[in-house]
Every structure is written in structure tokens, then in C-alpha cells.
């Protein structure tokens, strides 16, 4: 798939997400989501069953992706636990990318997009222990309500959410994301972990440690 096609597809996903979410998510944004694993599994299974390999999302195998994500978060988890245990009054934060890091965007075209389970578990674990959970996404801020609604609907704690303003849409993504981490630090937080699936989520510093989820050479936005 060419870069242009990938971008077009990615935009289509976001637009589909926005449109359907506006219709269906508004009532559910405040819903209790103690454990939506069965519905998440059902959604993914039905998506898999309904979309043959020829479908766009089938280029990357879901089970392989899940396994690869789990491997990275299995490394992140003990590190985050250790940092929290040794916080000593430090105001800590973790930073998460959204698409294909926090939400299964590539594999679920229609909202609410399910959470990436091990990332959700980690975010909840950290937040329950006083760590700020910040999301920095390249999604435009016109989708702020939809994005926030989706995150909350699937159970994420949201301490802060950064989306690109109009004047930021055409700039360098890595620079934009770095600037937002600087902003989080300016609020007094130490960013103990920055988790994303694209290099542009992670370069630029302003995080004690980065964790790279798979993007399979840019196939996953
Ligand atoms: Mg991403």
C-alpha cells in the first residue's frame, strides 16, 4: 500500500469513527465500563468474520498484532510498577498515542473502537495509583468530543487529551507531540513512560522511557 493510500485510509477510518460515534456514542460516553471484554471480543470476532482477507484491515493479522503488543506491554508493566513504587512524591504521568496504541483503530472501523486491552490495563493500573494518563494524538481537535467519548466509553481514565488544532495539522507530527509532552512537564509532571506505535510518537525526548508498539512499516497509523 502506498503512503498516500495509507493516509487516505487512515483518514477514512477517523471520519467513519467520527460519524458513527456522533450517532451512537453520545449516549454511551458516560456509561459504566467495568469490564467490556466480552463485547470487545464479539466486536472483533464479528469484524473478522464479516471482513475477508481482502478487506483493508486484514493486511496485518490481528492475532499477531495482539501478541506483538502484549510482548511490549509485558516489558512496560514491571517498569511502570517499579517507577510508581519509587515515586517518592513525584508527580508522575504516562503518555499514550491513541490509534493502534490505546484503541484498535486499524481493526475496528466502526465506533466505539475497542481498547487495546493490555494498554488499558496499564493505564488503569497507573491511574489508580495517582499517575496522570495523557493522550497525544494527531487526530484533529474537531474530533475531540468523539475521541474523548470513545476513550471514556471503553474505560480509559483521561487526565488530559491533546489533539491537533487547525494551525498544527500540517506541521511535523513528532514536533507537535514533543511540544505537548513539554506542556505536560510544565504542569509539573514527570513523564515516566511514553507509549506509541509510530516513531513520531516517541522521538524528541521528554519522557524517561519510550515503548514502541508495532506499526509494521507504517501499515498501522
Ligand atoms: Mg498510532
pTM over 0.85: no
> Could you read off the pLDDT of 193-212 as tens digits, one per residue?
999 999 999 999 999 999 99
CA 192 to ligand 1 centroid distance, Å: 19
CA 199 to ligand 1 centroid distance, Å: 9
Average pLDDT score over residue span 45-55: 39
Reduced to 3 states (helix: H, G, I; strand: E, B; else coil), residue 99 is strand
Lay out the sheet containing 132-140: strands in order across: 160-164, 132-140, 92-96, 190-196, 210-212
The CATH fold of domain 3-212: Rossmann fold (3.40.50)
CA 103 to ligand 1 centroid distance, Å: 9
> Could you read off the pLDDT of 70-82 as tens digits, one per residue?
999 999 999 999 9
- Please, which pLDDT band fits residue 21 given cuts at 50, 70 and 90? very low
Reduced to 3 states (helix: H, G, I; strand: E, B; else coil), residue 195 is strand
The domain spans of the chain are 3-212
- Please, which pLDDT band fits residue 65 given cuts at 50, 70 and 90? very high
What pLDDT does residue 155 have? 98
CA 89 to ligand 1 centroid distance, Å: 31
CA 69 to ligand 1 centroid distance, Å: 12
Neighbour-count burial for 99-128, b at 16+ CB within 10 Å, e otherwise: bbbbbbbbbbbebbbbbbbbbbebbeebbe
Task: Report which of residues 80 and 30 the model is more confident about.
Answer: 80
Q: Which residues contact 199 (CB under 8 A, 6 or more apart)?
A: 174, 212, 215
Amino acid at each position: 500500500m502506498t503512503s498516500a493510500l495509507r493516509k487516505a485510509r487512515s483518514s477514512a477510518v477517523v471520519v467513519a469513527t467520527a460519524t458513527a460515534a456522533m450517532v451512537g456514542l453520545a449516549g454511551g460516553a458516560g456509561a459504566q465500563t467495568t469490564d467490556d471484554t466480552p463485547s470487545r471480543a464479539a466486536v472483533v470476532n464479528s469484524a473478522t468474520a464479516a471482513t475477508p482477507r481482502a478487506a483493508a484491515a486484514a493486511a496485518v493479522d490481528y492475532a499477531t498484532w495482539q501478541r506483538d503488543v502484549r510482548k511490549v506491554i509485558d516489558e512496560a508493566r514491571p517498569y511502570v510498577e517499579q517507577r510508581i513504587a519509587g515515586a517518592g512524591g513525584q508527580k508522575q504521568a504516562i503518555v499514550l498515542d491513541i490509534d493502534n496504541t490505546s484503541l484498535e483503530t486499524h481493526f475496528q472501523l466502526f465506533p466505539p473502537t475497542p481498547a487495546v486491552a493490555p494498554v488499558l490495563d496499564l493505564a488503569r493500573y497507573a491511574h489508580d495509583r495517582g499517575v496522570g494518563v495523557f493522550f497525544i494524538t494527531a487526530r484533529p481537535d474537531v474530533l475531540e468530543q468523539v475521541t474523548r467519548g470513545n476513550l471514556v466509553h471503553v474505560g480509559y481514565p483521561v487526565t488530559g487529551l491533546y489533539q491537533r488544532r487547525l494551525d498544527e495539522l500540517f506541521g511535523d507530527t513528532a514536533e507537535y507531540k514533543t511540544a505537548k509532552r513539554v506542556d505536560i512537564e510544565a504542569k509539573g509532571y514527570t513523564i515516566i513512560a511514553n507509549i506509541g506505535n509510530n516513531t513520531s510518537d516517541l522521538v524528541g525526548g521528554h519522557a524517561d522511557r519510550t515503548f514502541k508498539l508495532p506499526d509494521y512499516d507504517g501499515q498501522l497509523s
